[in-house]
Amino acid sequence: MQNEPIHSLYDEEDSFRDHIATVDEKGKRKWIFPKMTKGAYTLARKYLAWVLIAILFIGPFLRYDGQPFMLFNVLERHFILFGIVFMPQDFHLFVLAMITFVMFIVLFTVIWGRLFCGWICPQTIFMEMVFRKIEYWIEGDGPQQRKLSSAPWNMEKTTKRTIKYALFYLISFLIGNTFLAYIIGSDAVLKIIQEPVSNHIAGFSAMLLFSGIFFFVFAYLREQVCTAICPYGRLQGVLLDANSIVVAYDHVRGEPRTKLAREVKTGGDCIDCKQCLYVCPTGIDIRNGTQLECTNCTACIDACDDIMIKINRPTGLIRYDSHNGILSGSKKIWTNRVKAYSLLLILLLSVLGFLLGTRGDVELTVMRTPGMLFQENPDGQISNLYNFQLANKTNKPIQIKMITKTEGATIKIIGALNLLPASEVSKGSFFIYLPKNKLEDRKTEVNLTIMQGQKVLTSTSTNFMGPITFK
């Protein structure tokens, strides 16, 4: 599975690079064996990671009013966010929510860089806090892993790799099933697991597919997801500016680099120990400045702080700071760019909040039945045939009736329309009858109202067609 390293990643000179750190001159993958890190940031990230992992795994089993708390059923276009049901009829809300979310990401990134990648992104959390930890446990620290990787396939290597990949697959299977549970619901996933495979060929195939994808990502792709695939990472170049706070090396304080071993240290604080480089999971040297590959994982901060403590110098040679902050000694967050983005975000949030707040429990869509104009009835009334869709956006069935408030008009539903099942769209047809003397023109506007007892749930109007001679 692993590529054998052609040469050590760390043999390279510290010159500024114009190529990705994990690919050699011939385009071949250079495998990274980061050293273990310890320190305040790593510890904080570890605690946060366990909380987020717990939330992710518990999420599909949470219920609100008997329904999943979160569901992203793209197959049936049925979504539940924090217990609120969203249906295809809410597509405009979905689009607006996506635009708002992108705006939030833009604002957040302008201020805090890739903070999300290092602390919250599931890829980083699972890679660094689960799969990497298992690797350390089985194969040892970075240098031992490199040694094992270059060793011939003897009993030790075969055993370690077999155990490692078996555990990797097991965890990938758990992640894959959780992912599936967010799409089809935890009950459906449990059914697939408990019942014979032949009853759920599609579901079982989806399980294997998701597990295989996650295994491939965490066993092989790894940092390539962050450095070459993730679109958010690619956006950094346009989002970051000199005031963005990122994991940064204080070149003012650190340069010129000098070896501590050379009696009295007269240069900068960086002793060129390369510990920051050895722990980096994307294989970069943060001293070359902010780079697209940096996921802000903070490993280099902890590694450098550890060195600074050992050589009796202040910590924070690598820290969260902006380029301008390093040059001037003070951070400026409230820039004109941040103000403009904040204003836009507040506007978008206000519109979204208003639309969500005024969103009804039931949505009625009415369309004239294609190919039908109007009918003249023996009793002198004119009738029009319509198709309707009624979406119940709640978790409970609703008892309803359809009425019209247009004078003289009557409604006749084809079949029955009493109960709207929870979170479903009911479809049907109905006639509207209007006496000839009530026709205003070739088109007459007719009101349609959906009632729950005495409460109006929603109302709309539709055009009623009649012969032009009755104007």
Distance CA 268, CA 178 (A): 49
CB of 315 to ligand SF4, least distance (A): 10
Distance CA 211, CA 217 (A): 10
Q: Which is nearer to ligand SF4, 48 or 97 (CB)?
A: 48
The CA R_g of the chain, rounded to the nearest whole Å, is: 31
Helix ranges (H only) for 154-297 are 155-184, 186-194, 201-216, 224, 231-239, 251-254, 275-278
CB of 167 to ligand SF4, least distance (A): 24
**Only segment of 56-64, 86-94, 205-213, 298-306 that touches ligand SF4 (CB under 6 A):** 298-306
Closest CA to 182 of 97, 80, 101: 80
> Taking CB under 6 A as the rule, does residue 24 contact ligand SF4?
no
Q: Which is nearer to ligand SF4, 115 or 189 (CB)?
A: 115
Q: Which is nearer to ligand SF4, 71 or 246 (CB)?
A: 246
> Taking CB under 6 A as the rule, does residue 296 contact ligand SF4?
yes
Find out whether 409 and 386 touch, Cβ atoms under 8 Å.
no
Look up residue 54 and give its two tokens. Answer: 């717990």
Looking at residues 305 to 344 of the shown chain, list those that interact with ligand SF4 (rule: CB under 6 A).
307, 317-318
CB of 308 to ligand SF4, least distance (A): 7
Closest CA to 12 of 292, 283, 248: 283
**Only segment of 153-161, 211-219, 275-283, 389-397 that touches ligand SF4 (CB under 6 A):** 275-283
CB of 97 to ligand SF4, least distance (A): 30
Find out whether 296 and 285 touch, Cβ atoms under 8 Å.
no
Among 304, 348, 364, 400, binds ligand SF4 (CB under 6 A): 304
Q: Which is nearer to ligand SF4, 247 or 425 (CB)?
A: 247
Q: Which is nearer to ligand SF4, 289 or 360 (CB)?
A: 289
Find out whether 114 and 14 touch, Cβ atoms under 8 Å.
no
Among 84, 190, 225, 273, binds ligand SF4 (CB under 6 A): 273
CB of 328 to ligand SF4, least distance (A): 21
Q: Which is nearer to ligand SF4, 83 or 316 (CB)?
A: 316
Question: Any bridge partners for residue 7, and if so which?
Answer: none
Q: Which is nearer to ligand SF4, 295 or 381 (CB)?
A: 295
Find out whether 389 and 425 touch, Cβ atoms under 8 Å.
yes
Question: 26 φ, ψ to 5°?
Answer: -90, 5
Helix (H) or strand (E) holding 439: none
Among 295, 381, 392, 444, binds ligand SF4 (CB under 6 A): 295
- Cis peptide, bond prior to residue 231, ω within 30 of zero: no
Q: Which is nearer to ligand SF4, 21 or 411 (CB)?
A: 21
> Taking CB under 6 A as the rule, does residue 271 contact ligand SF4?
yes
Look up residue 253 and give its two tokens. Answer: 């304080």
Question: 376 φ, ψ to 5°?
Answer: -95, 120
Chain residues binding ligand SF4 by CB under 6 A are 247, 249, 254, 270-276, 279-282, 284, 286-287, 294-300, 303-304, 307, 317-318
